[in-house]
Amino acid sequence: MREGSGEKNAMRLAEMWRNSCATPWKATNELGRLGCLPLIRLYFALHGVRWRSGWYVYGRPLIQRHSGSSITIGDGFWMRNWFSSSPLGVRHRCVLATWSRAARIEIGNDVGMSGATICAQTRISVGDRVAIGNNTTITDTDFHPLDPEVRRVDSLAAASEEVVVEDDCFIGMDALILKGTRIGRGAVVGAGSVVSGVIPSRAVVAGNPARVIREL
């Protein structure tokens, strides 16, 4: 456990209690989270994902871990899977999936995600203090070959290339992060963007395909 994490968690609980007095739906979500906590922790354990300090998981995600692959998540993790757990509405529960024995999903400290999907064929790395907006998808594979002749021979022989999201990034809702993407530290991805390639640090990108629209 990190130094000071107990005090940090106590402060979070106090703040959540104050908020619940003005926002009763948050209190309902919190009671539901606490009631489901033993089963949620068991679900993560059964899928080989270690539970860490300061996690707030609202509802059960979908975890599909290939034998031999790894999914690691740091402290202070927030995951929203219930529709009511986000004011923007969660269309489906979060998905953490590894599609090969060598695949790795690495999520840092103080990361939050709502109804998001992370699917790795090789490696997806998410740094510290990253906010992943509602219903975002991050994947390092095309899933199927683009060439129709190749698809007929092997429909799963898709191209894959690791994805890296550096520290302090903010990814807006409904974004799609494609294979080979590297998002620099502190960058912002606009809602609904389709991102591929290298995004500079502290850049704001938006669109399909995403383009830099300003610098922070």
Give the CA dihedral 171, 19, 41, 138, nearest 10 degrees. Answer: -10
CB atoms < 10 A from the CB of 1, how many?
10
End-to-end CA distance of the chain: 33
Find tokens 């960058």 and name the residue. 187
Q: Is 10 helix (H, G, I), strand (E, B) or coil?
A: helix
Sheet holding 117-120, edge to edge: 62-64, 95-98, 117-120, 137-139, 176-177, 194-195
Q: Which residues contact 1 (CB under 8 A, 6 or more apart)?
A: 53, 75
* Spatial separation of the C-alpha atoms in residues 190 and 105, rounded to whole Å: 23
Active site residue 144: yes
Catalytic choice (47, 66, 92, 144): 144
Helix ranges, the chain (H): 5-22, 24-46, 148-153
Q: Which residues are catalytic?
A: 144
